[in-house]
Every structure is written in C-alpha cells, then in structure tokens.
Amino acid sequence: EVQLVESGGGLVQPGGSLRLSCSVSEFTLSDYGMHWVRQAPGKGLEYVSAISNDGTRIYYGVSVRGRFTISRDISKNTLYLQMSSLRTEDTAIYYCVRRLPNTSKFDYWGQGTLVTVSS
Amino acid sequence: QSALTQPASVSGSPGQSITISCTGTSSDVGGYKYVSWYQQHPGKVPKLMIYDVTNRPSGISDRFSGSKSGNTASLTISGLQAEDEADYYCSSYTNSGTLYVFGTGTTVTVL
C-alpha cells in the first residue's frame, strides 16, 4: 500500500529552523513529482514547494522563497523540507503529496505534520 | 501568484445538483488541462476527486464531474448526499514560479 508519512513538526520560535521529512513506501520518488502543501489553522490549502520526478526542477511559493529548501534522498525514499527564518504565519499543517508526472493527479497525501511558530 | 477564485459557499438539498466554479486566468486554468479538485472533511486529509479537468480517480463516484470553459473550471455534484458536505478546493497548473495554485475553497452545505 502506498504510504507517505511526515515527521519533524513541532513548536519553534520565530526566526528558528526546522526540517520536515516525508518517508514514502511502495513507490519510488524518481517516478513522481513531490510536493509540500500547507494549511494554516482554519484556512485554505497553499502550495509550498515541489520537486520534479527527475529532481532537476524545483519550485517554491512566493511566501517561502529564499527561506525553505526542498530536497530528497532516493536511497532513503525520503523527501525533505528545510525551513529557516520561520515566521508566525508559517504555522500550519504541512502535507507531503505525490503527483503523477505530466498530470494534475495529486493522488496520495500524507497525514500531515503540524508546525507551530510561536514565542 | 494569486489564488484561484471560488465561491465561499454553495448549498443544496439532498438529490439536487450543485456546481462549484473556479476562476483563474489564461496563465493557469484557461491555458492548461491540469485542473484538479479536492474534497476535505473537517480534520481530514484532502482527497482527490477530479484531475486533468474531467478525469475521476478510481473509486470516486460518478456523481462528481468536472469541466472547463475559458478561464473557469467547474465541479458538479449530482444527486447531492449528506456525505458530500465538506470543503472543496480547485487547483491548477500555473506558468508562474509556483507550478501549481489552489483555489480559495468552497464550503458545501447539504440542507
């Protein structure tokens, strides 16, 4: 069964850093585009970052550009999101999502990990 | 990149049909076939309902259908049921630096 399991969330002070991980099983990261999507409490969905299936193309949302870095380790079947210079407005549930290349088929989502930025 | 525009709420009685609109621009919805729709119940993970404008993933009821005209995509729910009460989000590929963009979200209420 395809699974995506996020970890690494927690409470961090403004200006701090955090690294999220997304461990995947029953598929290979090199076969899918991978995305981080977040949802602030009571708010809508927002695309944060993406990496193409071949790893050559990386994208960031305007609100996180220059502060967040997406990466992956194929051998560990793990996707990462390094977050730095965190702001209170980064408080959200962060979901790891896979997408079939050349489609808009975001078919599997992780359960999400909560990041709280507060002093 | 601005979010795609959806109505804040749509309601209908059981058995009726409702349509949720998703308006963008020629840089996203109007320019590509990569529109998808997600259903989210409170406290739950979003679920893919429609992808590539009209395609339903395996296991999704045929009561859900998608379409697009110009810069506006639509999700239609036929034979509305109590379990359809949820938030719905559209999403589109965009030629901006973010790759994809979500809609503002629509709360569907079954009267």
pLDDT tens by residue, A2-18: 999 999 999 999 999 99
Q: What is the CA radius of gyration of chain B?
A: 13
For residue A32, pLDDT over 90 is answered with yes
Residue found under tokens 């990149």: B1
First to last CA, chain A: 40
Q: What is the CA radius of gyration of chain A?
A: 13
DSSP B8: S
* From B46, B52, B103, residue closest to A104, measured CB to CB: B52
The reply to whether A27 touches chain B by the CB within 8 Å rule is: no
The reply to whether A107 touches chain B by the CB within 8 Å rule is: yes
* From A44, A107, A112, residue closest to B102, measured CB to CB: A44
Separation CA A73–CA A30 (nearest Å): 10
Q: Which residues of chain B have pLDDT under 50?
A: none
Give pLDDT, residue B98. 83
**Choosing among B35, B48, B68, which should be mutated to test the A contact, i.e. which has the most A CBs within 10 A?**
B48
Q: How far is A13 from chain B (nearest CA, A)?
A: 25
Give pLDDT, residue A36. 98
Give pLDDT, residue B94. 95
Which A residues 47-66 touch B at CB under 8 Å? 47, 50, 59-62, 65
Cα torsion for B29, B88, B3, A113, to the nearest 10°?
A: -120
The reply to whether A44 touches chain B by the CB within 8 Å rule is: yes
Give pLDDT, residue B1. 67
Give pLDDT, residue A55. 94
**A106·B38 Cβ contact <8 A:** yes
Closest alpha carbon within chain A to B34: A104
Q: What is the pLDDT of residues A59-104, one digit of tens each?
A: 999 999 999 999 999 999 999 999 999 999 999 999 999 999 999 9
Q: How far is B14 from chain A (nearest CA, A)?
A: 26
**A47·B89 Cβ contact <8 A:** no
**A103·B104 Cβ contact <8 A:** no
